[in-house]
């Protein structure tokens, strides 16, 4: 029996990294437009005109790629009773103390929650960003709402991604390998996604 286990397909990994790159670009360009204290980011990213042009397109690319991810993963992201119990005790996972937590499948409840939060944020960012892209054509009430919704939602989305990066790099060593190489060791799967390991081994 092979010691490695296929975790993510090439298409899944490509979509993930395209989403990551476009999100980072949209976040950095958006931050540079949001505050004069962060305008130095615009200089790094090509200057004000480039940033103003590139920011909405970066957001569109991210939304399109996340749409692809949503269509492929939504069925696997439904929260069940074990997931709700996992969330209630998620502080143990954050401390890398997973003993006693319900066994997760391919995705744990934290990953599922991130998926739904990012999906909702993307819808709000896309809709409010569309309004801000053509302010002269929009009703004042809608424009005022978009001015508030867009940065507030961006903060939530950025915070979610920072937690995702922290967990993937520092709390669960080996998780990044799965998204880079597409495979993980059976020992890693047994430690972090035992239900998924059992389900996969039956196939």
- Per-residue pLDDT of the chain (203 residues), as tens digits, is 457 899 999 999 999 999 999 999 999 999 999 988 999 999 999 999 999 999 999 999 999 999 999 999 999 999 999 999 988 888 777 676 767 788 999 999 999 999 999 999 999 999 999 999 999 899 999 999 999 999 999 999 999 999 999 988 888 888 999 999 999 999 999 988 999 999 887 76
Q: How far is CA 139 from the centre of its chain?
A: 32
pTM (two decimals): 0.90
Structure-token pair, residue 163: 């937690």
Residue 203's pLDDT is 63
Match 């269509």 to its residue by tokens: 71
Residue 26's pLDDT is 97
Length of the chain: 203
Marked catalytic residue, from 55, 164, 192, 193: 164
Residue 2's pLDDT is 57
Residue 172's pLDDT is 85
Is residue 164 part of the annotated active site? The answer reads yes
Half-sphere CA count of 121, side-chain side, radius 13 A: 22
Dist CA 108 CA 88 (whole Å): 13
């Amino acid at each position: 029996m092979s010691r490695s286990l296929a975790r993510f397909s090439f298409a899944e990994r490509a979509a993930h990294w395209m989403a990551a790159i476009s999100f980072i670009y949209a976040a950095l360009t958006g931050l540079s437009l949001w505050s004069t204290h962060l305008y130095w980011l615009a200089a790094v990213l090509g200057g004000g005109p480039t940033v103003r042009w590139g920011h909405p397109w970066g957001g569109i690319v991210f939304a399109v790629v996340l749409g692809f991810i949503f269509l492929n993963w939504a069925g696997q992201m439904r929260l069940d009773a074990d997931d709700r119990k996992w969330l209630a005790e998620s502080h143990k996972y954050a401390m890398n103390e997973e003993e006693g937590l319900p066994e997760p499948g391919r995705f744990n409840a934290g990953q599922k929650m991130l998926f739904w939060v990012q999906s909702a944020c993307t819808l709000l960012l896309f809709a409010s960003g569309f309004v801000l892209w053509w302010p002269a054509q929009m009703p004042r009430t809608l424009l005022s709402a978009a001015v508030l919704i867009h940065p507030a939602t961006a903060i939530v989305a950025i915070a979610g991604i920072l937690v995702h990066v922290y967990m993937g790099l520092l709390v669960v060593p080996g998780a990044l390998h799965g998204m880079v190489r597409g495979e993980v060791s059976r020992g890693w799967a047994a430690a972090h996604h035992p239900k998924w390991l059992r389900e996969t081994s039956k196939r």
